[in-house]
């Protein structure tokens, strides 16, 4: 039973002329019944079409099934397609049930409801395997897939090689306590926090590499922008500095701005999403970490030098700018060991964070990475990792003529949330793994 006709084909008069006998296979979205005439809205992955059944045009068994089969059931209908008042519809002749819905989940998955209502979050998450059919989620996930495709397109156009990094690792980027620990045949291991160590090694071979894959964090952050499992857009390249990697990220975002309105027009229209021109006016403005701290302190923040900027601080800083902005020079005691120390200000690293406006927070981090073995030893010592055999392969890469290299990391779900103006990051991924919630699937 290979499906050959999709709703999008049936809706297109040039593909399926009036009077054509067609087969519609899909799910019942809704039903209306008026005396001896009944109507179904039949939906598949490509759209919705109305099907009309008249009691005199079908067998009594088929008509009875047409008017009584539960919404969300999968069905097959044969009939003739016509156009009435510029609306295409199928005049049903036969009706067959492929699979009957017996779950009766409420709200009905295809009925259309406010998926962003915080009161619905627990119910939706627990039943996400079925609520993937909800039209808004379908649009978000289609948008997600297309964004990933456009990002890959940009990488390929700019000479990057896609490089697959392992998910099971021995050496976490941050402290062991922040990683998800697992047992692999008696050996302690972790789910990866970042592909950076492996991209760094690949950079010494291929010079420009990228990875798009899952990352895992063990922290119990309950903010609207954190997940325990998320997808990371990571890239590294040889021979460059922080200004270069900032320009690269800005070029990538400009590419998205130029391509998404065309590539994702249908999904963006359905979701009511538009890309704001001010969000993509590059180069983005910059503020030093020290100036940022001074500004938020003047506004009443208790943030002090040497600690990370809070989400409330980011919102206060965003008032200074019309769009995204870079915070330059993140403290060395905040950042993990692989990043270069600023020789002009040894209290900070050559790292910069891109902050999105309107409370969306950090979108991306960029960095110059350490290539000198002496600085690597110093930083590993600071972080308590010097002499830890799990990091021997990282040390070996730096001993084997490691060259200056730069990197960026961007959370895909944060990017999607910002692009679509979605309240919570959990709604940008099919099966969210959020702090404080059990894994249901």
pLDDT digits (tens, 9 = 90+) for 343-394: 999 999 999 999 999 999 999 999 999 999 999 999 999 999 999 999 999 9
Q: How confident is the model at residue 218 (pLDDT cuts 50, 70, 90)?
A: confident
Residue from 72, 93, 84 nearest 23 by CA: 93
Residue 434 has pLDDT above 90, yes or no: no
Residue 35 has pLDDT above 90, yes or no: no
Residue 437 has pLDDT above 80, yes or no: no
Averaged pLDDT for residues 240-250: 98
Structure tokens at 219: 């922290």
Share of the chain above pLDDT 70, in %: 100
Q: Please enumerate in sequence order all residues whose Cβ is within 8 A of that of 207, keeping only pairs 6 or more positions apart, or say none.
A: 237, 238, 239
∠ CA 236-238-256, nearest 5°, is 45
Q: How confident is the model at residue 31 (pLDDT cuts 50, 70, 90)?
A: very high
Residue 439: the pLDDT is: 82
CA distance 330 to 351: 6
**Beta-bridge partner residues of 33:** 38
Residue 226: the pLDDT is: 87
Phi/psi of residue 46, nearest 5 degrees:
-115, -10
Residue 228: the pLDDT is: 92
Residue 252 has pLDDT above 90, yes or no: yes
Residue 225: the pLDDT is: 84
The secondary structure of residue 349, as a DSSP letter, is B
Q: Kind and range of the H or E element at 244? A: helix 242-263
Residue 220: the pLDDT is: 72
Residue 189 has pLDDT above 80, yes or no: yes
Share of the chain above pLDDT 90, in %: 93
Residue 219 has pLDDT above 80, yes or no: no
Q: How confident is the model at residue 285 (pLDDT cuts 50, 70, 90)?
A: very high
CA distance 346 to 333: 11
Residue bearing the bigger pLDDT, 232 or 224: 232
**Beta-bridge partner residues of 75:** 26, 97
CA distance 25 to 6: 8
Averaged pLDDT for residues 95-115: 95
Please answer whether residues 172 and 297 qualify as being in contact, where contact means their C-beta atoms are separated by less than 8 angstroms.
no
Q: Dump the DSSP string for 308-346.
A: PPPHHHHHHHHTT-SS-EEEE--BTTTS-TTBPBPTT-T
Residue bearing the bigger pLDDT, 224 or 295: 295
Averaged pLDDT for residues 109-125: 93
Instruction: Give the other-Cβ count within 10 Å of 255's Cβ.
Output: 18
∠ CA 291-408-276, nearest 5°, is 70
Residue 307: the pLDDT is: 94
Residue 438 has pLDDT above 90, yes or no: no
Task: Please report the domains of the chain, with CATH numbers, ordered by start residue.
Answer: 7-99 (2.40.50.140), 130-427 (3.30.930.10)
């Amino acid at each position: 039973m290979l499906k050959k006709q999709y709703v999008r084909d049936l809706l297109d008069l040039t593909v399926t002329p009036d009077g054509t006998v067609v087969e519609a296979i899909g799910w019942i979205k809704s039903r209306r019944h008026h005396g001896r005439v009944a109507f179904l809205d039949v939906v598949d992955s490509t759209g919705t079409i109305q099907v009309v059944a008249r009691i005199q045009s079908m067998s009594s068994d088929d008509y009875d099934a047409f008017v009584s089969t539960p919404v969300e059931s999968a069905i097959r209908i044969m009939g003739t397609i016509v156009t009435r008042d510029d609306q295409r519809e199928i005049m049903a002749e036969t009706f067959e049930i492929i699979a009957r819905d017996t779950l009766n989940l409420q709200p009905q998955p295809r009925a259309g409801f406010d998926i962003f209502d915080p009161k619905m979050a627990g119910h939706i998450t627990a039943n996400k395997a079925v609520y993937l059919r909800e039209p808004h989620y379908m649009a978000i996930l289609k948008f997600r897939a297309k964004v990933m495709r456009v990002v890959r397109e940009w990488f390929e156009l700019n000479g990057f090689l896609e490089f697959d990094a392992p998910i099971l690792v021995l050496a976490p980027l941050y402290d062991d306590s922040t990683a998800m620990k697992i047992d692999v045949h008696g050996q302690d291991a972790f789910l990866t926090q970042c592909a950076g160590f492996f991209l760094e090694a690949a950079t010494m071979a291929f010079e420009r590499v990228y990875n798009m894959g899952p990352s895992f964090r063990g922290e119990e952050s309950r903010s609207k922008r954190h997940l325990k499992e998320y997808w990371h857009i990571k890239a590294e390249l040889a021979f460059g500095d922080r200004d270069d990697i900032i320009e690269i990220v800005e070029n990538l975002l400009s590419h998205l701005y130029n391509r998404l309105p065309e590539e994702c027009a249908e999904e963006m229209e359905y979701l009511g999403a538009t890309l704001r021109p001010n969000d993509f006016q590059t180069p983005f403005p910059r503020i030093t970490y020290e100036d940022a701290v001074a500004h938020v302190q003047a506004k009443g923040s208790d943030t002090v030098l040497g600690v990370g900027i809070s989400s409330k601080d980011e919102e206060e800083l965003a008032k200074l700018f019309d769009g995204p902005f870079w915070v330059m020079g993140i403290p060395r005691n905040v950042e993990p060991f692989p990043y270069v120390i600023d020789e002009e200000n040894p209290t900070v690293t050559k790292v910069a964070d891109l902050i999105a406006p309107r409370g969306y927070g950090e979108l991306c981090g960029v960095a110059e990475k350490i290539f000198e073995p002496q600085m690597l030893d110093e930083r590993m010592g600071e972080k308590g990792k010097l002499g830890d055999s799990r990091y021997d392969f990282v040390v070996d890469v730096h001993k084997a003529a490691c060259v200056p290299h730069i990197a960026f990391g961007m959370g895909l779900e944060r990017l999607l949330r910002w692009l679509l103006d979605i309240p919570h990051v959990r709604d940008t991924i099919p099966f969210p793994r959020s702090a404080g919630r059990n894994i249901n699937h």
